[in-house]
Chain A
Amino acid sequence: MGPVESRAKRRLALLAVAAACLAGITGCGGGGDNSDQLVVSAAASLDTAFNDYVHAAGIDAKMSFAGSDELAAQIRQGVKPDVYAAANTSLPDQLHKEGLVGEPTVFATNTLVLAVPQDSQIDSLDDLTKPGTSIVMGDPTVPVGSYTREVLDHLPADQRKAIYDNVRSEEPDVSSISGKLTQGAADAGFVYITDVTASSGQLKAIQLPADLQPNVAYGAAVVTGAKNPDGARAFIEGLLSGDGATALKEAGFKPPPG
Protein backbone atom coordinates (compact mmCIF):
# COMPACT_ATOMS: atom_id res chain seq x y z
CA MET A 1 0.00 0.00 0.00
CA GLY A 2 1.24 3.48 -0.92
CA PRO A 3 2.01 6.29 1.49
CA VAL A 4 -1.07 8.23 0.43
CA GLU A 5 -3.26 5.31 1.17
CA SER A 6 -1.74 4.67 4.56
CA ARG A 7 -2.14 8.34 5.42
CA ALA A 8 -5.77 8.09 4.42
CA LYS A 9 -6.09 5.03 6.57
CA ARG A 10 -4.53 6.76 9.51
CA ARG A 11 -6.89 9.65 9.06
CA LEU A 12 -9.81 7.24 8.96
CA ALA A 13 -8.60 5.60 12.12
CA LEU A 14 -8.37 9.01 13.77
CA LEU A 15 -11.91 9.75 12.64
CA ALA A 16 -13.06 6.47 14.07
CA VAL A 17 -11.46 7.30 17.40
CA ALA A 18 -13.09 10.72 17.35
CA ALA A 19 -16.45 9.13 16.59
CA ALA A 20 -15.99 6.66 19.41
CA CYS A 21 -15.15 9.55 21.73
CA LEU A 22 -18.31 11.32 20.70
CA ALA A 23 -20.33 8.19 21.25
CA GLY A 24 -19.23 7.96 24.87
CA ILE A 25 -18.24 11.49 25.71
CA THR A 26 -16.87 10.64 29.15
CA GLY A 27 -14.76 7.83 27.75
CA CYS A 28 -11.96 10.04 26.39
CA GLY A 29 -9.82 12.83 27.67
CA GLY A 30 -8.82 13.71 31.20
CA GLY A 31 -12.15 13.98 32.95
CA GLY A 32 -13.37 10.44 32.50
CA ASP A 33 -10.25 8.68 33.77
CA ASN A 34 -10.40 10.51 37.04
CA SER A 35 -12.47 8.36 39.33
CA ASP A 36 -12.14 10.92 42.15
CA GLN A 37 -14.12 13.50 40.25
CA LEU A 38 -17.35 14.22 42.04
CA VAL A 39 -20.54 14.72 40.06
CA VAL A 40 -22.94 17.07 41.82
CA SER A 41 -26.51 17.84 40.77
CA ALA A 42 -27.65 20.89 42.69
CA ALA A 43 -30.48 23.41 42.85
CA ALA A 44 -29.84 26.51 40.74
CA SER A 45 -29.86 28.69 43.86
CA LEU A 46 -26.76 26.85 45.15
CA ASP A 47 -24.64 27.89 42.16
CA THR A 48 -22.48 30.56 43.81
CA ALA A 49 -22.14 28.81 47.16
CA PHE A 50 -21.18 25.42 45.71
CA ASN A 51 -18.70 26.91 43.26
CA ASP A 52 -17.05 28.81 46.10
CA TYR A 53 -17.06 25.63 48.20
CA VAL A 54 -15.30 23.37 45.66
CA HIS A 55 -12.88 26.16 44.86
CA ALA A 56 -11.96 26.72 48.52
CA ALA A 57 -11.78 23.02 49.36
CA GLY A 58 -9.97 22.08 46.16
CA ILE A 59 -12.59 19.48 45.25
CA ASP A 60 -12.54 18.21 41.67
CA ALA A 61 -16.24 18.38 40.93
CA LYS A 62 -18.45 18.44 37.90
CA MET A 63 -21.53 20.37 38.87
CA SER A 64 -24.82 20.72 37.13
CA PHE A 65 -27.25 23.36 38.33
CA ALA A 66 -30.92 23.34 37.40
CA GLY A 67 -34.33 23.27 38.98
CA SER A 68 -34.33 20.68 41.81
CA ASP A 69 -37.36 19.06 40.20
CA GLU A 70 -35.61 18.60 36.85
CA LEU A 71 -32.57 17.09 38.53
CA ALA A 72 -34.84 14.72 40.46
CA ALA A 73 -36.55 13.75 37.20
CA GLN A 74 -33.14 13.02 35.68
CA ILE A 75 -32.26 10.77 38.61
CA ARG A 76 -35.59 8.98 38.17
CA GLN A 77 -34.65 8.46 34.52
CA GLY A 78 -31.44 6.75 35.56
CA VAL A 79 -28.92 9.62 35.67
CA LYS A 80 -26.50 8.96 38.55
CA PRO A 81 -24.65 11.93 39.96
CA ASP A 82 -22.82 11.37 43.27
CA VAL A 83 -24.60 14.12 45.20
CA TYR A 84 -28.12 15.46 44.85
CA ALA A 85 -28.78 18.77 46.60
CA ALA A 86 -32.27 20.29 46.41
CA ALA A 87 -33.89 23.54 47.46
CA ASN A 88 -36.41 21.65 49.54
CA THR A 89 -36.53 18.52 51.64
CA SER A 90 -39.51 16.89 49.97
CA LEU A 91 -37.75 15.98 46.71
CA PRO A 92 -34.78 14.27 48.43
CA ASP A 93 -37.26 12.56 50.79
CA GLN A 94 -39.31 11.27 47.86
CA LEU A 95 -36.21 10.00 46.06
CA HIS A 96 -35.07 8.36 49.31
CA LYS A 97 -38.43 6.57 49.61
CA GLU A 98 -38.01 5.38 46.03
CA GLY A 99 -34.59 4.01 46.95
CA LEU A 100 -32.80 6.33 44.54
CA VAL A 101 -30.81 8.32 47.11
CA GLY A 102 -29.54 7.68 50.63
CA GLU A 103 -30.79 9.31 53.83
CA PRO A 104 -31.09 13.07 53.12
CA THR A 105 -29.30 15.64 55.26
CA VAL A 106 -30.73 19.12 55.81
CA PHE A 107 -27.74 21.41 55.33
CA ALA A 108 -29.04 24.98 54.99
CA THR A 109 -32.06 27.21 55.06
CA ASN A 110 -32.92 30.17 52.88
CA THR A 111 -35.40 33.01 52.78
CA LEU A 112 -37.93 33.65 50.04
CA VAL A 113 -38.09 37.33 49.08
CA LEU A 114 -39.70 39.55 46.54
CA ALA A 115 -36.93 40.78 44.23
CA VAL A 116 -37.11 43.89 42.09
CA PRO A 117 -34.58 45.77 39.95
CA GLN A 118 -32.53 48.24 42.03
CA ASP A 119 -34.36 51.32 40.72
CA SER A 120 -37.86 49.89 41.14
CA GLN A 121 -40.68 51.77 42.91
CA ILE A 122 -42.23 48.52 44.12
CA ASP A 123 -41.76 48.01 47.83
CA SER A 124 -44.41 45.61 49.04
CA LEU A 125 -46.68 42.74 48.02
CA ASP A 126 -49.50 45.28 47.70
CA ASP A 127 -47.70 46.93 44.78
CA LEU A 128 -47.87 43.67 42.86
CA THR A 129 -51.64 43.93 42.55
CA LYS A 130 -51.48 47.02 40.32
CA PRO A 131 -52.60 46.15 36.80
CA GLY A 132 -49.72 46.22 34.33
CA THR A 133 -47.10 45.08 36.82
CA SER A 134 -45.30 42.10 35.30
CA ILE A 135 -44.36 39.35 37.68
CA VAL A 136 -42.26 36.23 37.09
CA MET A 137 -42.19 33.23 39.38
CA GLY A 138 -41.01 29.66 39.38
CA ASP A 139 -43.22 27.07 37.72
CA PRO A 140 -45.30 25.02 40.18
CA THR A 141 -42.94 22.04 40.24
CA VAL A 142 -39.68 23.82 41.04
CA PRO A 143 -39.23 24.49 44.79
CA VAL A 144 -39.05 28.29 44.43
CA GLY A 145 -42.36 28.15 42.54
CA SER A 146 -44.11 26.02 45.12
CA TYR A 147 -42.83 28.21 48.00
CA THR A 148 -44.13 31.25 46.12
CA ARG A 149 -47.56 29.69 45.72
CA GLU A 150 -47.51 28.77 49.42
CA VAL A 151 -47.04 32.47 50.24
CA LEU A 152 -49.64 33.73 47.79
CA ASP A 153 -52.19 31.15 48.93
CA HIS A 154 -52.16 32.77 52.38
CA LEU A 155 -53.16 36.16 50.99
CA PRO A 156 -56.76 37.38 50.87
CA ALA A 157 -58.53 36.04 47.79
CA ASP A 158 -58.81 39.33 45.89
CA GLN A 159 -55.16 40.25 46.47
CA ARG A 160 -54.07 36.75 45.48
CA LYS A 161 -56.10 36.89 42.27
CA ALA A 162 -54.76 40.33 41.33
CA ILE A 163 -51.19 39.08 41.78
CA TYR A 164 -51.75 35.87 39.80
CA ASP A 165 -53.31 37.93 37.01
CA ASN A 166 -50.03 39.84 36.73
CA VAL A 167 -47.85 36.74 36.41
CA ARG A 168 -46.26 36.81 32.95
CA SER A 169 -43.87 33.89 33.10
CA GLU A 170 -43.37 30.66 35.01
CA GLU A 171 -39.68 29.89 34.90
CA PRO A 172 -38.02 26.48 35.25
CA ASP A 173 -35.47 27.60 37.82
CA VAL A 174 -34.43 30.49 39.99
CA SER A 175 -31.56 31.72 37.81
CA SER A 176 -34.02 32.13 34.97
CA ILE A 177 -36.17 34.35 37.22
CA SER A 178 -33.18 36.48 38.27
CA GLY A 179 -32.16 36.81 34.62
CA LYS A 180 -35.58 38.17 33.66
CA LEU A 181 -35.36 40.71 36.48
CA THR A 182 -31.81 41.92 35.86
CA GLN A 183 -32.67 42.32 32.16
CA GLY A 184 -35.67 44.45 33.08
CA ALA A 185 -37.92 41.95 31.32
CA ALA A 186 -40.18 41.84 34.38
CA ASP A 187 -40.99 44.21 37.24
CA ALA A 188 -40.82 41.77 40.13
CA GLY A 189 -40.16 38.14 40.93
CA PHE A 190 -40.00 35.72 43.82
CA VAL A 191 -36.51 34.37 44.48
CA TYR A 192 -34.32 33.56 47.48
CA ILE A 193 -32.40 36.22 49.38
CA THR A 194 -29.19 34.47 48.23
CA ASP A 195 -30.07 35.18 44.59
CA VAL A 196 -30.39 38.87 45.37
CA THR A 197 -26.98 38.75 47.08
CA ALA A 198 -25.54 36.96 44.03
CA SER A 199 -26.89 39.63 41.64
CA SER A 200 -24.15 42.00 42.92
CA GLY A 201 -26.37 44.99 43.44
CA GLN A 202 -28.58 44.69 40.37
CA LEU A 203 -31.55 43.48 42.41
CA LYS A 204 -32.94 44.48 45.76
CA ALA A 205 -34.87 42.28 48.13
CA ILE A 206 -38.19 43.11 49.72
CA GLN A 207 -38.83 40.96 52.77
CA LEU A 208 -42.11 39.09 52.97
CA PRO A 209 -44.25 39.45 56.11
CA ALA A 210 -42.85 37.06 58.72
CA ASP A 211 -46.09 35.10 59.09
CA LEU A 212 -46.06 34.34 55.36
CA GLN A 213 -42.42 33.24 55.15
CA PRO A 214 -42.27 29.59 54.07
CA ASN A 215 -39.85 27.15 55.61
CA VAL A 216 -37.14 26.94 52.94
CA ALA A 217 -34.78 24.09 53.86
CA TYR A 218 -32.20 22.45 51.60
CA GLY A 219 -31.65 18.71 51.60
CA ALA A 220 -28.75 16.76 50.13
CA ALA A 221 -28.19 13.05 49.73
CA VAL A 222 -25.73 10.56 48.29
CA VAL A 223 -27.21 9.04 45.15
CA THR A 224 -27.68 5.26 45.26
CA GLY A 225 -25.15 3.65 42.96
CA ALA A 226 -22.90 6.74 42.98
CA LYS A 227 -19.44 6.16 41.50
CA ASN A 228 -17.84 8.12 44.28
CA PRO A 229 -19.93 7.57 47.43
CA ASP A 230 -17.07 8.45 49.82
CA GLY A 231 -16.44 11.73 48.06
CA ALA A 232 -20.17 12.39 48.09
CA ARG A 233 -20.43 11.82 51.84
CA ALA A 234 -17.40 14.03 52.49
CA PHE A 235 -18.92 16.72 50.27
CA ILE A 236 -22.17 16.70 52.27
CA GLU A 237 -20.32 16.71 55.60
CA GLY A 238 -18.37 19.72 54.41
CA LEU A 239 -21.66 21.56 53.94
CA LEU A 240 -22.43 21.23 57.65
CA SER A 241 -19.03 22.28 58.95
CA GLY A 242 -16.02 23.36 57.02
CA ASP A 243 -15.49 25.06 53.67
CA GLY A 244 -19.01 24.27 52.45
CA ALA A 245 -20.65 25.75 55.53
CA THR A 246 -18.48 28.87 55.17
CA ALA A 247 -19.33 29.27 51.49
CA LEU A 248 -23.04 28.84 52.22
CA LYS A 249 -22.86 31.45 54.98
CA GLU A 250 -21.07 33.91 52.71
CA ALA A 251 -23.69 33.41 50.01
CA GLY A 252 -26.38 34.33 52.52
CA PHE A 253 -27.71 30.91 53.54
CA LYS A 254 -28.54 30.17 57.16
CA PRO A 255 -27.46 26.99 58.96
CA PRO A 256 -30.04 24.22 59.37
CA PRO A 257 -32.28 24.45 62.46
CA GLY A 258 -31.03 22.73 65.62
Chain B
Amino acid sequence: MRRAAFAVGLFLALFLVLAFLTLPIVAIFVHTSPGDLISSLGEQDARDALWLSLKTSLAALAIIVIVGTPAAYLLATREFRGRSVVVTLIELPLVLPPAVAGIALLASFGPEGLFGSALDDAGIQLVLETAGVIVALTFVAAPFYLRQAQEAFAAVDRNLLDAARTLGASEARAFIRIAVPSAGQGIASGIALAWGRALGEFGATLMFAGSFPGITQTVPLAIFARFSDDFTAALALSGVLVIVSAALLLSVKVLGRSPILGGGAP
Protein backbone atom coordinates (compact mmCIF):
# COMPACT_ATOMS: atom_id res chain seq x y z
CA MET B 1 0.00 0.00 0.00
CA ARG B 2 2.68 2.39 1.08
CA ARG B 3 4.77 1.31 -1.88
CA ALA B 4 1.91 2.08 -4.23
CA ALA B 5 1.53 5.53 -2.73
CA PHE B 6 5.21 6.14 -3.26
CA ALA B 7 4.98 5.09 -6.90
CA VAL B 8 1.99 7.39 -7.39
CA GLY B 9 4.03 10.18 -5.80
CA LEU B 10 6.85 9.59 -8.24
CA PHE B 11 4.54 9.67 -11.23
CA LEU B 12 2.86 12.80 -9.94
CA ALA B 13 6.24 14.50 -9.60
CA LEU B 14 7.20 13.51 -13.13
CA PHE B 15 3.86 14.73 -14.42
CA LEU B 16 4.35 18.10 -12.72
CA VAL B 17 7.87 18.42 -14.11
CA LEU B 18 6.73 17.53 -17.60
CA ALA B 19 3.70 19.80 -17.54
CA PHE B 20 5.59 22.77 -16.14
CA LEU B 21 8.47 22.45 -18.56
CA THR B 22 6.51 21.75 -21.73
CA LEU B 23 3.35 23.86 -21.36
CA PRO B 24 5.09 27.21 -21.99
CA ILE B 25 6.67 25.77 -25.11
CA VAL B 26 3.37 24.34 -26.27
CA ALA B 27 1.84 27.79 -25.67
CA ILE B 28 4.25 29.33 -28.17
CA PHE B 29 2.91 27.07 -30.87
CA VAL B 30 -0.71 27.46 -29.83
CA HIS B 31 -0.36 31.20 -30.43
CA THR B 32 1.70 30.86 -33.59
CA SER B 33 0.40 29.44 -36.82
CA PRO B 34 2.85 27.74 -39.20
CA GLY B 35 2.15 30.72 -41.48
CA ASP B 36 3.39 33.11 -38.75
CA LEU B 37 6.56 31.04 -38.39
CA ILE B 38 7.26 31.20 -42.10
CA SER B 39 6.40 34.86 -42.48
CA SER B 40 8.64 35.73 -39.53
CA LEU B 41 11.49 34.26 -41.56
CA GLY B 42 10.57 36.56 -44.43
CA GLU B 43 11.91 39.46 -42.40
CA GLN B 44 15.51 40.35 -43.20
CA ASP B 45 16.32 41.24 -39.56
CA ALA B 46 14.99 37.90 -38.34
CA ARG B 47 17.06 35.97 -40.87
CA ASP B 48 20.12 38.03 -39.94
CA ALA B 49 19.53 37.24 -36.28
CA LEU B 50 19.17 33.53 -36.96
CA TRP B 51 22.28 33.45 -39.13
CA LEU B 52 24.23 35.45 -36.53
CA SER B 53 23.08 33.09 -33.76
CA LEU B 54 24.22 30.06 -35.73
CA LYS B 55 27.55 31.62 -36.67
CA THR B 56 28.45 32.88 -33.21
CA SER B 57 27.25 29.77 -31.36
CA LEU B 58 29.22 27.52 -33.72
CA ALA B 59 32.34 29.64 -33.31
CA ALA B 60 31.96 29.54 -29.53
CA LEU B 61 31.35 25.81 -29.65
CA ALA B 62 34.47 25.23 -31.76
CA ILE B 63 36.60 27.14 -29.24
CA ILE B 64 34.98 25.29 -26.35
CA VAL B 65 35.49 21.83 -27.87
CA ILE B 66 39.03 22.41 -29.14
CA VAL B 67 40.34 23.86 -25.89
CA GLY B 68 37.88 22.21 -23.53
CA THR B 69 38.32 18.58 -24.56
CA PRO B 70 42.00 18.24 -23.60
CA ALA B 71 41.39 20.33 -20.47
CA ALA B 72 38.52 18.07 -19.42
CA TYR B 73 40.67 15.00 -20.14
CA LEU B 74 43.41 16.29 -17.89
CA LEU B 75 40.94 17.02 -15.11
CA ALA B 76 39.37 13.59 -15.46
CA THR B 77 42.54 11.52 -15.59
CA ARG B 78 45.13 13.25 -13.39
CA GLU B 79 45.09 13.84 -9.69
CA PHE B 80 46.90 17.00 -8.68
CA ARG B 81 46.90 19.46 -5.84
CA GLY B 82 44.17 22.04 -6.13
CA ARG B 83 42.28 20.00 -8.69
CA SER B 84 38.95 20.44 -6.92
CA VAL B 85 39.55 24.19 -6.70
CA VAL B 86 40.16 24.28 -10.44
CA VAL B 87 36.99 22.28 -11.09
CA THR B 88 34.95 24.60 -8.89
CA LEU B 89 36.35 27.71 -10.56
CA ILE B 90 35.56 26.31 -13.98
CA GLU B 91 32.02 25.49 -12.94
CA LEU B 92 31.39 28.90 -11.39
CA PRO B 93 29.95 30.51 -14.54
CA LEU B 94 27.24 27.80 -14.43
CA VAL B 95 25.66 29.46 -11.44
CA LEU B 96 26.34 33.07 -12.34
CA PRO B 97 23.36 35.14 -13.42
CA PRO B 98 23.84 36.39 -17.01
CA ALA B 99 23.89 39.99 -15.76
CA VAL B 100 26.86 39.14 -13.55
CA ALA B 101 28.55 37.45 -16.49
CA GLY B 102 27.99 40.60 -18.57
CA ILE B 103 29.42 42.87 -15.89
CA ALA B 104 32.35 40.50 -15.34
CA LEU B 105 33.16 40.46 -19.05
CA LEU B 106 33.02 44.27 -19.18
CA ALA B 107 35.24 44.49 -16.11
CA SER B 108 37.79 42.18 -17.71
CA PHE B 109 37.66 42.55 -21.49
CA GLY B 110 35.78 45.87 -21.77
CA PRO B 111 37.61 49.04 -22.81
CA GLU B 112 37.90 50.11 -19.16
CA GLY B 113 38.46 46.55 -17.97
CA LEU B 114 41.56 44.77 -16.68
CA PHE B 115 42.73 43.73 -20.14
CA GLY B 116 41.04 46.59 -21.98
CA SER B 117 44.17 48.53 -22.88
CA ALA B 118 46.11 45.37 -23.76
CA LEU B 119 43.35 44.29 -26.15
CA ASP B 120 43.21 47.81 -27.55
CA ASP B 121 46.97 47.80 -28.16
CA ALA B 122 46.58 44.51 -29.97
CA GLY B 123 43.90 46.11 -32.10
CA ILE B 124 41.19 43.80 -30.77
CA GLN B 125 37.76 45.32 -30.32
CA LEU B 126 35.21 43.10 -28.55
CA VAL B 127 32.42 45.27 -27.17
CA LEU B 128 29.67 46.07 -29.67
CA GLU B 129 31.24 43.66 -32.16
CA THR B 130 30.39 40.13 -33.29
CA ALA B 131 33.61 38.92 -31.64
CA GLY B 132 32.19 40.13 -28.31
CA VAL B 133 29.12 37.93 -28.81
CA ILE B 134 31.39 34.91 -29.31
CA VAL B 135 33.31 35.77 -26.13
CA ALA B 136 30.07 36.06 -24.15
CA LEU B 137 28.71 32.77 -25.52
CA THR B 138 31.97 30.96 -24.85
CA PHE B 139 32.05 32.23 -21.28
CA VAL B 140 28.56 31.11 -20.38
CA ALA B 141 28.46 27.87 -22.37
CA ALA B 142 31.94 26.41 -21.76
CA PRO B 143 31.26 25.06 -18.24
CA PHE B 144 28.35 22.97 -19.54
CA TYR B 145 30.66 21.23 -21.97
CA LEU B 146 33.61 20.91 -19.59
CA ARG B 147 31.49 19.31 -16.93
CA GLN B 148 29.98 16.71 -19.23
CA ALA B 149 33.25 15.93 -21.01
CA GLN B 150 35.06 15.55 -17.72
CA GLU B 151 32.47 13.11 -16.42
CA ALA B 152 32.57 11.19 -19.69
CA PHE B 153 36.36 10.88 -19.60
CA ALA B 154 36.28 9.84 -15.96
CA ALA B 155 33.93 7.00 -16.89
CA VAL B 156 36.25 5.63 -19.60
CA ASP B 157 37.65 2.25 -18.61
CA ARG B 158 41.25 2.82 -17.49
CA ASN B 159 42.18 -0.70 -18.60
CA LEU B 160 41.47 0.27 -22.19
CA LEU B 161 43.85 3.22 -22.00
CA ASP B 162 46.48 1.11 -20.23
CA ALA B 163 46.10 -1.63 -22.81
CA ALA B 164 46.58 0.87 -25.62
CA ARG B 165 49.73 2.19 -24.00
CA THR B 166 51.03 -1.33 -23.40
CA LEU B 167 50.53 -1.98 -27.08
CA GLY B 168 52.80 0.98 -27.76
CA ALA B 169 50.29 3.77 -28.34
CA SER B 170 51.56 7.16 -27.26
CA GLU B 171 49.66 9.14 -24.60
CA ALA B 172 48.32 11.46 -27.30
CA ARG B 173 47.27 8.56 -29.50
CA ALA B 174 45.48 6.86 -26.63
CA PHE B 175 43.62 10.14 -25.99
CA ILE B 176 42.53 10.57 -29.61
CA ARG B 177 41.90 6.95 -30.57
CA ILE B 178 40.58 5.49 -27.33
CA ALA B 179 39.47 8.11 -24.80
CA VAL B 180 37.61 10.49 -27.13
CA PRO B 181 35.62 7.77 -28.97
CA SER B 182 34.80 5.98 -25.71
CA ALA B 183 33.59 9.22 -24.17
CA GLY B 184 31.72 10.09 -27.38
CA GLN B 185 28.23 10.04 -25.96
CA GLY B 186 29.08 12.20 -22.97
CA ILE B 187 30.98 14.60 -25.21
CA ALA B 188 28.01 14.79 -27.55
CA SER B 189 25.61 15.61 -24.75
CA GLY B 190 28.09 18.21 -23.51
CA ILE B 191 28.09 19.75 -26.97
CA ALA B 192 24.31 19.71 -27.04
CA LEU B 193 24.03 21.40 -23.64
CA ALA B 194 26.67 24.02 -24.40
CA TRP B 195 25.14 24.74 -27.79
CA GLY B 196 21.69 25.11 -26.30
CA ARG B 197 22.99 27.49 -23.67
CA ALA B 198 24.88 29.51 -26.30
CA LEU B 199 21.84 29.78 -28.56
CA GLY B 200 19.74 31.01 -25.66
CA GLU B 201 22.26 33.49 -24.25
CA PHE B 202 20.73 36.90 -23.67
CA GLY B 203 21.89 39.01 -20.73
CA ALA B 204 25.65 38.74 -21.04
CA THR B 205 25.44 39.37 -24.78
CA LEU B 206 23.31 42.48 -24.34
CA MET B 207 25.56 43.93 -21.64
CA PHE B 208 28.89 43.07 -23.19
CA ALA B 209 28.25 43.07 -26.93
CA GLY B 210 25.14 45.22 -27.27
CA SER B 211 22.31 44.72 -29.71
CA PHE B 212 22.52 45.66 -33.36
CA PRO B 213 20.85 43.83 -36.24
CA GLY B 214 23.35 41.78 -38.21
CA ILE B 215 26.28 42.54 -35.88
CA THR B 216 25.39 41.61 -32.31
CA GLN B 217 21.62 41.03 -32.29
CA THR B 218 21.26 37.27 -31.87
CA VAL B 219 17.85 35.60 -31.94
CA PRO B 220 17.10 36.05 -28.21
CA LEU B 221 17.93 39.78 -28.49
CA ALA B 222 15.79 40.04 -31.64
CA ILE B 223 12.92 38.39 -29.76
CA PHE B 224 13.32 40.89 -26.95
CA ALA B 225 13.40 43.80 -29.43
CA ARG B 226 10.10 42.58 -30.92
CA PHE B 227 8.45 41.84 -27.59
CA SER B 228 7.41 45.44 -26.96
CA ASP B 229 5.88 46.30 -30.31
CA ASP B 230 5.03 43.06 -32.04
CA PHE B 231 4.23 40.19 -29.71
CA THR B 232 3.17 37.93 -32.60
CA ALA B 233 6.53 38.39 -34.31
CA ALA B 234 8.30 37.75 -31.01
CA LEU B 235 6.32 34.53 -30.57
CA ALA B 236 7.00 33.41 -34.12
CA LEU B 237 10.73 34.01 -33.79
CA SER B 238 10.66 32.16 -30.46
CA GLY B 239 9.00 29.25 -32.22
CA VAL B 240 11.73 29.25 -34.85
CA LEU B 241 14.39 29.21 -32.11
CA VAL B 242 12.64 26.32 -30.35
CA ILE B 243 12.58 24.30 -33.58
CA VAL B 244 16.20 25.08 -34.47
CA SER B 245 17.42 24.28 -30.94
CA ALA B 246 15.43 21.06 -30.80
CA ALA B 247 16.77 19.97 -34.19
CA LEU B 248 20.36 20.71 -33.17
CA LEU B 249 20.05 18.92 -29.87
CA LEU B 250 18.39 15.91 -31.44
CA SER B 251 20.96 15.60 -34.19
CA VAL B 252 23.83 15.86 -31.71
CA LYS B 253 22.22 13.21 -29.53
CA VAL B 254 21.67 10.91 -32.48
CA LEU B 255 25.22 11.48 -33.64
CA GLY B 256 26.45 10.68 -30.14
CA ARG B 257 24.81 7.26 -30.34
CA SER B 258 26.07 6.50 -33.83
CA PRO B 259 29.17 4.38 -34.39
CA ILE B 260 31.02 7.41 -35.87
CA LEU B 261 31.64 8.81 -32.42
CA GLY B 262 31.99 5.45 -30.78
CA GLY B 263 28.60 5.57 -29.12
CA GLY B 264 30.00 4.57 -25.76
CA ALA B 265 30.64 0.95 -26.79
CA PRO B 266 34.31 0.61 -27.69
Contacts and interface: CB of A to CB of B under 8 A. Distances in A.
Contact of A69 (B206, B207, B213, B229): B229
A171 B127 contact: no
Given A134-B128, A169-B128, A142 B110 contact: no
Interface string B144-176: 000000000000000000000000000000000
The interface residues of chain B, by DSSP majority, are classed as loop
B216 interface: yes
A179 B111 CA distance: 13
Contacts, number: 69
A143 to B, nearest CB: 11
B76 to A, nearest CB: 34
B128 A170 contact: no
Interface in A102-156: 134, 136, 139, 141-142
Given A136-B210, A139-B211, 20 more contacts: A73-B228, A141-B228, A168-B129, A169-B128, A169-B210, A169-B211, A169-B216, A170-B211, A171-B206, A171-B210, A172-B206, A172-B225, A176-B206, A180-B128, A180-B210, A184-B111, A184-B116, A185-B106, A185-B111, A186-B127
B106 A73 contact: no
A70 B227 CA distance: 7
The interface residues of chain A, by DSSP majority, are classed as mixed
Interface in B228-263: 228-229, 231
A72 B230 CA distance: 12
A252 interface: no
A170 B227 CA distance: 14
B128 A172 contact: no
A85 B119 CA distance: 42
A231 interface: no
A70 B206 CA distance: 16
